Chains A and B, each alone.
Chain A
Amino acid sequence: MHAPAPKPDAGLLDDLPGELMMWVLIVSELLVFGAGLAAFLSVRISDPAGFAAARAALDPALAGINTVVLITSGFLAARSLDLRLGLKRAAARWHLAGAMLLGAVFLAIKFQEYAAKAAEGISTDTHAFFTFYYLLTGFHAAHVVAGIVLLGLVAWKDAPRNIEAGAAFWHMVDLVWVLLFPVIYVLG
C-alpha cells in the first residue's frame, strides 16, 4: 500500500490575507508604478530646473484634497468588509457606495485638474515632466475607474471574499497614490 501523500505545508503564501492572485496584481501594479516614478526622477536629473518650472503649473492643494478623499474612501472600503463579516450587509453596501462616491469625487477633481492644464495649452508634449505626469496620473485614474466598477460589482455580489478582493484592489489604488503624490506634485 502506498503511504498517503503528505499534506503540503502551509507555506508563506498562505499567510497572506485574501486572494493570492489579488496580491500578485498588487505587487505587479506597484512594480509598474514604481518603475514609472523611478524613471520620472531619473529623467529629472538632466533638467531639474525645467521640471521645477513645469511642476509649478500643478496645483498640489487639489492633489492634497484628493489624498484625503482617497484615504477616506479606502477606510470605507475596509470598513465594509468588517461590516459584512459582522453580517451587516446593508451597512456594508452603504460603505461601499460611499467609497465609490468618493472615488467619483477623486475623478472629478482630477478631471478639473486636467481641464485646467488643457486650458493653459499644456499637453504631454509640453515638457518631459508633463509626459510622465499625464502617463502616471492618467494610468492611476484609469485604475480608480476600474476600482469603482469593481466596488460596484462586489456591492452587488457581496460575499465576504468578493468584498475582500474588491477592497484590496481599492487599497492598492490608495497605496500607489500615497507614493505618487509627493513625487509628482512636490519633488518633481
Chain B
Amino acid sequence: MTSNPLFLAWLTLMSLGIAAVLVTAGGAEFFSPVLFGGLLLLLAWAKARIILSRYLGLWQAPGWLSGFSWVIGLFCVLLLCLYAVAGLSR
C-alpha cells in the first residue's frame, strides 16, 4: 500500500494540509501578510497539482498537467495580488 502512487498522493495531500494549518497558526506573528498569503496559496496550488496529477490521472498527459499547473499557478498569483492590494489600501 505504501508504494501505491494514489496512497502516496493522499499522504502528500495530508502533509500539505498540516503545513497549511501550521502556516495559518503562525499567521501574522511569523509572516508578513504577503508571505502568509503566498505560502497558503502555494500550498493550495501544490494540492491542486497533486489532485490533477494523481487523482485525475494527468500524470499520463504531462503536457496537460503542465498547462493546468501553469494556469492554476497564474490564477493563484492573481489571487495573491488581490489579497496584497487590500493590505496596501488599509
- Which residues of A are interface residues toward B (Cβ below 8 A)? 12, 15-18, 26, 30, 34, 37-38, 41-42, 44-46, 48-49, 51, 60, 64, 67-68, 71-72, 74-75, 77-79, 82, 167-168, 171-172, 174-175, 178-179, 181-183, 186-187
Contacts and interface: CB of A to CB of B under 8 A. Distances in A.
Given A15-B61, A175-B48, A178-B51, A42 B82 contact: yes
Contacts of A49: 90
Contacts of A182: 20, 40-41, 43-44
Contacts, number: 104
Given A17-B57, A182-B40, A182-B41, A12 B63 contact: yes
Given A34-B75, A78-B6, A178 B48 contact: yes
Contacts of B24: 60, 186
B40 A187 contact: yes
Contacts of B83: 41, 44, 187
Interface of B: 6-7, 9-10, 13-14, 17, 20-21, 24, 37, 40-41, 43-44, 47-48, 51-52, 54-58, 60-61, 63-64, 72, 75-76, 78-79, 82-83, 85-87, 89-90
A187 B14 CA distance: 20
Contact of A75 (B9, B17, B52, B72): B9
B37 A16 contact: no
Contacts of B43: 182
A77 B55 CA distance: 8
Given A15-B64, A175-B56, A187-B83, 13 more contacts: A12-B64, A15-B60, A17-B56, A17-B57, A17-B61, A18-B56, A38-B78, A38-B79, A48-B89, A51-B86, A78-B54, A181-B44, A182-B41
